[in-house]
Amino acid sequence: MIAGALAATGLMAGALIKPALAGDQLTVVSWGGTYQPILRKNVFEPFSKATGIKITEDVYSGDIGKIRAMVESKTVSWDVIDAASSGAWIMCDQGLLETIDWNKVGLDRAKFGDAGKFNCGVPSQINRTIVYYEKNNPNPPKTIADLFDTKKFPGKRGLWKNPYPNLEWALIADGVPIKDVYKVLNTPEGVDRAFKRLDTIKNDVIWWTTGAQAVQLLANRQVIMTAAWTSKASNELFETMWDAAQGGFSWWAIPKGSPHLEEAYKFLAFAGSPQPQADVTRDAPYGPANKDAMALVDPKVLATLPNTPERDAIAVNTDFAFWIDKGDELRQRFNAWLAK
Partner 1 sequence: MATMAVQMDGGPDKIPLRLKLQRVERRRKLMSFTLVLPLLLFILIAFVWPIGRMMFNAIHDDTLLTLMPRTTSALSAWDGKDLPDESAYAALVEDLKQAWARKTTGVIAKRINYELPGAGSQVTSSARKASTLSAGPYRSTLIAINPIWGQHDVWIVLKRGHSAYTAYYLLRSFDYQFGSKGQIVASPPENAIFRDVFLRTFGISIAVTAATLLLGFPVAYLLATLPTRTSNLLMIMIVLPFWTSVLVRTAAWGVLLQEHGIVNELLITLHIISRPAELIFNRVGTVVAMTHIQLPFTLLPIYSVMKTISPSYLQAARSLGAGPFYAFWKIYFPQTLPGIAAGCLLTFILCLGYYITPALVGGAADQMVSYFVAHYTNEDLNWGMASALAAILLGATLLLYYAYNKLVGVDRLKMG
Query: Which chain residues interact with partner 1 by CB under 8 A?
Result: 5, 8-10, 12, 62-66, 68, 86-87, 90-95, 99, 156, 161, 205-207, 209, 220-222, 325-326, 328-329, 331-333, 335-340
Shortest Cβ 300–partner 1 spacing (Å): 36
For partner 1, which is the closer residue by CB, 233 or 321?
Answer: 321
Quote the strand ranges of 178-224, DSSP E.
205-208
Shortest Cβ 217–partner 1 spacing (Å): 9
Q: Measuring CA to CA, which residue among 248, 305, 267 is closest to residue 122?
A: 267
For partner 1, which is the closer residue by CB, 94 or 235?
Answer: 94
For partner 1, which is the closer residue by CB, 203 or 299?
Answer: 203
Which are the contacts of 39, defined by CB distance < 8 A and separation ≥ 6? 30, 82, 280
CA distance 171 to 128: 18
Please name the amino acid found at residue 289: A
Shortest Cβ 213–partner 1 spacing (Å): 8
For partner 1, which is the closer residue by CB, 239 or 328?
Answer: 328
For partner 1, which is the closer residue by CB, 59 or 302?
Answer: 59
What's the Cα-to-Cα distance from 29 to each of 78, 88, 161, 169, 338, rounded to whole Å? 7, 13, 23, 31, 30
CA distance 203 to 138: 24
Shortest Cβ 190–partner 1 spacing (Å): 13
Shortest Cβ 120–partner 1 spacing (Å): 10
CB 151 within 8 A of CB 138: no
CA distance 304 to 231: 10
CA distance 66 to 179: 37
For partner 1, which is the closer residue by CB, 71 or 297?
Answer: 71
Find the helix or strand (DSSP H, E) in which 19 lies.
Answer: none
Cross-strand partners of 79: none
Find the helix or strand (DSSP H, E) in which 273 lies.
Answer: none
Residue 202 backbone class (left: φ over 0; alpha: ψ -120 to 50; beta: rest): alpha
For partner 1, which is the closer residue by CB, 80 or 198?
Answer: 198
CA distance 66 to 76: 10
Pairing relation of β-strands 225-229 and 157-160?
Answer: parallel
For the CA atoms of 62, 68, 73, 79, the dihedral, rounded to the nearest 10 degrees, stands at 50
Shortest Cβ 15–partner 1 spacing (Å): 13
CA distance 14 to 12: 5
CA distance 271 to 47: 8
Shortest Cβ 16–partner 1 spacing (Å): 11
Shortest Cβ 225–partner 1 spacing (Å): 14
For partner 1, which is the closer residue by CB, 13 or 313?
Answer: 13
For partner 1, which is the closer residue by CB, 26 or 201?
Answer: 201
Shortest Cβ 328–partner 1 spacing (Å): 5
